[in-house]
Amino acid sequence: MKHGTHWVIVDTETDGLCAPIHIVELAAQRMQGWEPVGAPFRMFLDHNVPIPAEAFAVHGYSREFLRKNGNDPRAVHAAFREYADGCPVVAHNLSYDWNRCLQPEWARLGIPSIGSRGFCTLTLSRRLLPGIGGYRLDALKARFALKTNRSHEALSDVFTVVELFRKIHRERLEPAGLDSFEAIATFAALTPIAKCKAILQGEPLRLKTKRG
């Protein structure tokens, strides 16, 4: 990726899908261009709230586990702020992690936003890999024989997204000239998806420039 742009891949595990959603595990990996750089980030959060059976069945983090291993949520987000260092945040299903989990939790805790909204690797996958059927991380992991990390563990899912981006997406993005963070972010949000085929076949992507 041109200019060695720094960005952050993030994943969360939570206490469920109904607001207010509490993050119980926050994991991330700093990226520089196409490659991971430095150690990953992983912390558990103890909001002192019940963990519904449905959520426990997904990630296996009980209230007792979080009491023992979790940290004060404000302290976790302060540590994440230092780790992210203002970088754009990318996730697989960004509308969930960013819009429904991170942003509401920061607002609830009175914490200013951390970093900025980047692109979604799920929507990017739909544009790069048309017609494969499923775009959930489990489906992509199985289809492309990515590392068999335990699913629904935030740090393992972050590692899977790193591998997906480096080994599967990169070989499709670079030949099409999609080699800057801005170009990839624009392409990931492009509609209708039919436009993407032409760009992957060599038609230039026109980036919108900010006025004023």
Q: Is residue 56 part of a domain?
A: yes
Q: Is residue 207 part of a domain?
A: no
Instruction: State the CATH number of the domain containing residue 20.
Output: 3.30.420.10
Please classify residue 151 by burial: count the beta carbons closer than 10 Å to its beta carbon, then call 0-12 exposed, 13-18 middle and 19+ buried: middle
Residues 74-93: tens digit of each pLDDT: 999 999 999 999 999 999 99
How many structural domains compose the chain? 1
Model pTM score: 0.94
Q: Is residue 206 part of a domain?
A: no
DSSP H helical segments within the chain, as ranges? 53-59, 63-69, 73-84, 94, 103-109, 121-128, 137-143, 154-163, 170-173, 181-188, 194-200
Mean pLDDT of 148-157: 84
Q: Is residue 22 part of a domain?
A: yes
Residues 5-57: tens digit of each pLDDT: 999 999 999 999 999 999 999 999 999 999 999 999 999 999 999 999 999 99
- pLDDT of amino acid 211: 46
- pLDDT of amino acid 212: 41
Percent of the chain with pLDDT over 70: 96
Q: Is residue 137 part of a domain?
A: yes
Q: Is residue 212 part of a domain?
A: no
Q: Is residue 104 part of a domain?
A: yes
With 60 as the cut, is the pLDDT of residue 209 above it? no
Domain of residue 173 covers 2-200
170, 34 Cβ separation under 8 angstroms: yes
